[in-house]
Amino acid sequence: MKKIEAIIRTEKLNDVKTALATKGHLGLTTYEVKGRGRQKGIVLQWRGVKEYRVDVLSKTKIELVVDDEDAPEVVDIIREKAATGKVGDGKIFILPVEDVIRIRTGERGKDAV
Amino acid sequence: MKRELAIVSGDVAWILTSAAFVMIMTPGLAFFYGGMVRGKNILSVLMHCFVIMLLISLEWVLWGYSLAYAPGGGFIGGFQFLGLRGVGAEPSLIYATTVPQNAFMIYQAMFAIITPALIAGAFAERLKINTFIVFTLLWATFVYNPVAHWVWASGGWLRSLGVLDFAGGTVVHITAGAAALASMFAIRKRSGFGSITMEPNNIPYVILGTALLWFGWFGFNAGSALTAGGSAANAFVVTNTAAAAAGLTWMLMSWYFRGRPSVLGSMAGAVAGLVAITPASGFVGPLAAIAIGIGAGVFCYLAVLLRNRKNLDDSLDVWGVHGIGGTWGAIATGIFAEAAVGGTNGLLFGNPAQLVTQLIGVAATWAYAFTLTFVILKVLDVTMGLTVKPEEEEVGLDISQHGERANATS
């Protein structure tokens, strides 16, 4: 099984969630995160008198654990829905998962995903 | 006899106090609206209300008061009071004759300020700030000033017909509601409207805003007596009563239809009641106020439901609460007015003609305010553009229009 972590624009979360749900991937976890990539941040102002640059920006991180064979489809969905073409679209990471257990029933492995 | 001898100090104290009460309603409204929008747009909504305070405070002094109240025709006032020339410590011979005229003027200024602020709720989360500023000035000049003149100025054609509007149900709430209706058709919907959930970012702010509005409304209604006495006291009593009845009604309706009493709904209900009692507050008694409040709760709840079903985007239901609430209030005035309270009888006290007069006022104001607002918006659409770009809307108006964040967490 694979864990897919994606850091995406917050405004794209709804589109990504909906698209994943239509393909049967309902379970996921979201976090509000801050970070810096190659996007040069945004310029804010203080009392209209001076400007300052903020380069640690807010994004949303989603995590989901899926079967190995579903991982490519999930990556494609996230890329399709979260991309705007501009710097700051985010990144996807794929990690191996040793095991998955459903707390309520004790099911393990693929059945618990 | 010197005009200064006509001044009654209790009246002056009350009208100045009331002016301050109505002033706080605009920031109160700002938070009432601000808590309802998504977090990324809260500053823009708050700023809309504050910008109006900055703009209309000056507009009123420079030309607004004159166009509304200087002697003129049936449609609009004259230029006699431009820059408040002649408006000073001496009482007017026509308006609020026991207080300095500039006290009356500043009291009315607060009404002129809050009315465009109400409309801001209809197009929240998508209007450009520069277009908004121009819209506000045009609307105040060409919609608010004339309608205020029609209803409240001596010689104003609706006043001459006998239309009753104690504190602004027609002048403030119907004009704002009609403007909101025009916005629904002239301005595009928010991106994602209907498909994504747009959750209120801070309901406690909405509650705090409601509290400030309710508190301030005592100045809005009871201050409209322009004197400190029985009329003000009556208005104060019926204002509180109607707000309570309406809030309770909406709460119970939400409980019945949705299974649980809605906090946000109860706030909207209380405001609907305050809107509806506004035109009637000097003319009806407390029992009528209960009926008016219940009516406001019912009609405004249904109006919001209707707007939802039609999938129209009035961001904060200005049409449903102010437009419909104000209309109900104006009609209710024609039904429940009691000469023992305010000098005129309505339908229930043997004078059905008053109801007809009220309907004329309602219809004329709806037609004028809707049409003018629509025209102004369309002209601005073609010249300046109304709404922000999609990327700006995604990121939020606080950052895109103002370059600031509401809550910077380091």
| DSSP helix/strand/coil, A42 | strand
| Cα–Cα distance for residue pair A37/B40, rounded to 1 Å | 22
pLDDT value at position B5?
Answer: 75
pLDDT value at position B219?
Answer: 98
Q: What is the mean pLDDT of residues B257-265?
A: 94
Locus of tokens 């002048």: B171
B293 against A35, higher pLDDT? B293
Alpha helices in B60-202, H assignment, sequence order: 65-69, 101-119, 129-139, 145-152, 157-161, 175-186
Q: Is residue B409 part of a domain?
A: no
The answer for residues whose C-beta is within 8 angstroms of residue A49's C-beta and 6 or more apart is none
Range of weakest confidence among B106-110, B180-184, B192-196:
B192-196
pLDDT at B96 over 60: yes
pLDDT at A49 over 80: no
| Percentage of chain B modeled with pLDDT above 90 | 91
Q: What is the pTM of this model?
A: 0.92
Give the mean pLDDT of chain B: 95
Domain CATH code at residue B326? 1.10.3430.10
pLDDT value at position B4?
Answer: 66
The shortest C-alpha distance from B51 to chain A (Å) reads 15
Considering only the beta carbons, identify the residue of A9, A42, A84 that sits closest to B399.
A42
Total structural domains in chain B?
1
The shortest C-alpha distance from A44 to chain B (Å) reads 5
Tell me, rounded to whole angstroms, the distance of Cα B131 from its chain centroid.
Answer: 21
DSSP secondary structure, A87-113, as one string: TT-EEEEEEE----B-TTT--BGGGG-
pLDDT value at position B283?
Answer: 97
pLDDT value at position A51?
Answer: 79
pLDDT at B410 over 60: no
Contact B164/B156 with Cβ under 8 angstroms?
Answer: no
Q: Is residue B64 part of a domain?
A: yes
pLDDT at B359 over 80: yes
The answer for residues whose C-beta is within 8 angstroms of residue B228's C-beta and 6 or more apart is B8, B10, B11, B13, B14
Q: What is the mean pLDDT of residues B50-77?
A: 96
| DSSP helix/strand/coil, B274 | helix
pLDDT at A61 over 80: yes
Q: Is residue B410 part of a domain?
A: no
pLDDT at B2 over 80: no
**Where residue B65 falls among pLDDT bands split at 50, 70, 90?**
very high
For an interface test with B, the pick among A9, A11, A31, A45 (most B C-beta atoms closer than 10 Å) comes out as A11
Q: What is the ipTM of this complex?
A: 0.76
pLDDT value at position A113?
Answer: 85
How far separated are the first and last CA of chain B, in Å rounded? 66
Residues of B in contact with A51 (CB under 8 A): 403
pLDDT value at position B22?
Answer: 98
Q: What is the tens place of the pLDDT at every residue in B16-29?
A: 999 999 999 999 99
Range of weakest confidence among A99-103, B3-7, B38-42, B263-267:
B3-7
pLDDT value at position B3?
Answer: 65
- Which tokens belong to B322? 């102010």
How far are the Cα atoms of A79, B196, B291 from residue B246, in angstroms, in the given order? Answer: 49, 30, 9
**Where residue B356 falls among pLDDT bands split at 50, 70, 90?**
very high
Residue of A nearest to B191 (CA): A11
A44 and B394 within 8 Å at the Cβ level: the answer is no
**Where residue B391 falls among pLDDT bands split at 50, 70, 90?**
confident
Contact B105/B87 with Cβ under 8 angstroms?
Answer: yes
pLDDT at A37 over 90: no
pLDDT value at position A92?
Answer: 97
How far are the Cα atoms of B221, B222, B235 from residue B168, in angstroms, in the given order? Answer: 8, 12, 13
Q: Is residue B408 part of a domain?
A: no
| Cα–Cα distance for residue pair B321/B328, rounded to 1 Å | 10
Residues of B in contact with A42 (CB under 8 A): 399
| Cα–Cα distance for residue pair A21/A19, rounded to 1 Å | 5
pLDDT value at position B103?
Answer: 97
Q: Is residue B407 part of a domain?
A: no
> What domain range includes position B150?
3-402
**Domains along the sequence of chain A with CATH:** 2-112 (3.30.70.120)
B403 and A9 within 8 Å at the Cβ level: the answer is no
Q: What is the mean pLDDT of residues B34-50?
A: 95
Range of weakest confidence among A24-28, A48-52, B71-75, B372-376:
A48-52
pLDDT value at position A42?
Answer: 75
**Where residue A55 falls among pLDDT bands split at 50, 70, 90?**
confident
| Cα–Cα distance for residue pair B121/A16, rounded to 1 Å | 30
Q: What is the DSSP letter of A83?
A: -
